[in-house]
């Protein structure tokens, strides 16, 4: 599937907007994959998408669009600012 510029960021923001509670980076990756029609059972693809998602989130935080904190399992939790 060809990459579409900005789609991962768009899907992250939509997922956080729709979420009732903060989400982990991995949860966000699954949501992005689902919205892109990707196979969420492929562990390699999940890992790749989690890395891509993890690269986008600090930029969104720096722009003031999302906030984060370390959760009880030492995972980053994310929500819209």
**Structure confidence by residue, pLDDT tens digits, 37-74:** 999 999 999 999 999 999 999 999 999 999 999 998 89
Average pLDDT, integer, range 1-18: 83
Q: Domain boundaries in the chain?
A: 7-80
Two structure tokens written together for 56: 């986008």
Report the predicted TM-score, pTM, of the whole model to 2 decimal places. 0.87
Residue 4 has pLDDT above 80, yes or no: no
Residue 31 has pLDDT above 60, yes or no: yes
The pLDDT score that the predictor gives to residue 7 is 87
The pLDDT score that the predictor gives to residue 70 is 95
Fold of 7-80: Arc Repressor Mutant, subunit A (1.10.10)
């Amino acid at each position: 599937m060809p990459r579409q510029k900005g789609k991962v960021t768009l899907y992250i923001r939509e997922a956080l907007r729709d979420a009732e509670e903060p989400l982990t980076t991995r949860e966000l990756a699954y949501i992005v994959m689902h919205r892109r029609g990707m196979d969420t059972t492929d562990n390699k693809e999940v890992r790749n998408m989690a890395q891509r998602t993890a690269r986008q989130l600090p930029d969104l935080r720096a722009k003031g669009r999302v906030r984060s904190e370390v959760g009880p399992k030492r995972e980053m939790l994310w929500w819209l600012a």
